[in-house]
Every structure is written in C-alpha cells, then in structure tokens.
Amino acid sequence: MILNEGMLKEGALKGKNILITGGGTGLGRSMGEYFLELGANLIITSRKLDVLNATAEEMMKEKGGKVLPLACDVREIDQVEKMWEDATKEFGQIHVVLNNAAGNFISPTERLSTNAFNTVLDIVLKGTSQVTLTAGKDWIAKKQNGTFLNIVTTYAWTGSGYVVPSAAAKAGVLAMTRSLAVEWAKYGIRSNAIAPGPFPTEGAWSRLLPGDLVKKFDPAKKVPVGRVGEHQELANLAAYLVSDFSSFVNGEVMTIDGGEWLKGAGEFNNLDQIPQEMWDMLEVSRGKKA
C-alpha cells in the first residue's frame, strides 16, 4: 500500500501561485507542503500570524519555493480584500484558491448560543464566499483563468447531528462549488471540492474528540478500510485537482474517506457483525449442504 508517497510528476505545479486559507496548520499545511514540492509558490493565510510565520519558514527550509504568510480573518471582508491585494502585489497573479479554513466543535444543537452557531457559519460559509467572491471578481476583471478547490466534508450531503452549524455551512459551500463551476466556467474558472473522512489533525481532534472521547469513539472503527487517512493521500488528490491535469474536472466533489459515509448509509451494512458460523448455519437452513 502506498500511503506516504507523492503521486504527481516533478514540476507538476511549477509556475502556479496558490493561496491556502488556514494554510498554517493541519491539512492546509500538508497540502501546501506537497504543492511546494511540486514547484508551486504559496500564500498561506489565517488569523494567527505567528503560526503562519513559523510554518512559512519551516516550509521554505524543507521544501524550497516561496511562501508568503498573510494574516486574514476570512469573516472580515476588509481583511480578505487587503490580503488578496497584498498577495497579488507580491506574486502578480494567483492561479489557485484553496478554501480550507474552518471552525467547528461538537455540541447538542439546543445548547448552542446564537453566537456559537453564527461563528461557525461565518468562518465556513461566509468566509469561503468572501474569499471566493474577492478572487473571482479579480480574475474575471483581469481575464485570468483560476481554480477553486474547496474542502468540505461528507456530512455536507448527509447532514450530521452534533455539528449542525458545520454541516449547514459545508452544504452551502458544496452548493456554491457546483453553482460556480457552471456559472464561471465561461471565464476559465474551475470549481471543485474534496470531502475528506477522518484525517487526524490537532485542530479537528481537539474540537471533535475532546478529552476521553478519542478513546471511546475511535474514528478508524467507522471506516470500512479500517484506518484513518494519511495526509499525503489527501495532498495527492488536492494536487491533482489544482493541477492542469484535471482541467476537464469541474463541479465535482471527490470523497476520500475509505468508504466511511457509505457504511453508515447502506441499509444492511451492519450485517458485517454476523460471524461466519452464523452465515454457515443460514446456508444449511436454506438447504445447502454443510
């Protein structure tokens, strides 16, 4: 099994300037590191400039290329526009926007304050739409091609209890991805999404499996292939979707979850709890010789 090897050929992203929201930590950082390896330059943004600075320095030391860290709260349109302006000034043209920033936590919905609900909606849906609109308007005005890749989750279409603001916001991002894939294709702008299953990160695990929950709800147990994802596996898919090799892929959401969401959906999937001896008995009872 190849879990930790880069998939695309050397230089596959050469000449591409890629903006990653939430690029200082977790999956954003892992995808960014692989993009750099493939020859891209990066702009990484989030709220915490100290984190971004440290990440940018480490990335350039380990992978080469150029990484520009810019503080930007995606909820604030002034900050988004300033970030885009600064990034464009530095790089001339930005070719790809990876909408990866998110906020999330678990809670029974009836316990959420209005502000708690809105906070997640604002980061995920409003934040993504503000970055998308800022980039898209600029690309269209300048007649530049562009590529959006939006990170959603599988509960964007199934919904999920206990993360309702996140589910509602990710569903909105998915609808926006598919809508703009059609509307903006005429401008040479592609929009796709990735729906990851469980990929361990400090940010997600600390908020979705706090305290002892991680021992009680081992995420790997819900996945048919029996494990969680490796960051490189996601990075390989993301690199393909932002590269020119995927130029005929538009409006797609690619699931990378080891079959997790389908396991929950299939009516009889829980029959894998039936032991072989019981299947043997059932065969005998319908007349097949043991």
Indicate whether 204 belongs to the interface with ligand HXC (CB under 6 A): yes
Residue among 217 and 279 whose Cβ is closer to ligand NAP:
217
Spatial contact of 177 and 150, defined as CB atoms under 8 Å apart: yes
Q: Of 34, 155, 162, 240, which is the active-site residue?
A: 155
SS3 238: helix
CB of 47 to ligand HXC, least distance (A): 8
Spatial contact of 92 and 60, defined as CB atoms under 8 Å apart: no
CB of 25 to ligand NAP, least distance (A): 4
Part in contact with ligand HXC (CB under 6 A); list of ranges 76-84, 199-207, 235-243, 268-276: 199-207
115 binds, options ligand NAP, ligand HXC, none, Cβ within 5 to 8 A by partner type: ligand HXC
Q: Walk across the sheet containing 17-21 and list its strands.
A: 67-71, 41-46, 17-21, 96-99, 146-151, 189-196, 253-256
100 binds, options ligand NAP, ligand HXC, none, Cβ within 5 to 8 A by partner type: ligand NAP
Indicate whether 32 belongs to the interface with ligand NAP (CB under 6 A): no
Indicate whether 74 belongs to the interface with ligand NAP (CB under 6 A): yes
Residue with tokens 């040479």: 188
Beta bridge partners of 147: 96, 190
| Rounded distance between C-alpha atoms, residue 142 and residue 128, angstroms | 21
Indicate whether 227 belongs to the interface with ligand NAP (CB under 6 A): no
Among 16, 75, 95, 190, binds ligand NAP (CB under 6 A): 75
SS3 71: strand
Token pair listed for 78: 């002034």
Find how far residue 45's CA is from the centre of its chain: 15
259 binds, options ligand NAP, ligand HXC, none, Cβ within 5 to 8 A by partner type: none
| 264-288 residues labelled b (16+ CB within 10 A) or e (exposed) | eeeeeeeeeeeeeeeeeeeeeeeee
51 binds, options ligand HXC, ligand NAP, none, Cβ within 5 to 8 A by partner type: ligand NAP
| Rounded distance between C-alpha atoms, residue 21 and residue 156, angstroms | 19
155 annotated active-site: yes
- The residues of the shown chain that bind ligand HXC, judged by CB under 6 A, are 102-105, 107, 112-113, 115-116, 119-120, 153, 166, 198, 203-204, 207-208
Q: Write out the residues near ligand NAP by the rule CB under 6 A.
A: 21-22, 24-28, 46-48, 51, 72-75, 100-103, 123, 127, 151, 153, 196, 198-199, 201, 203-204
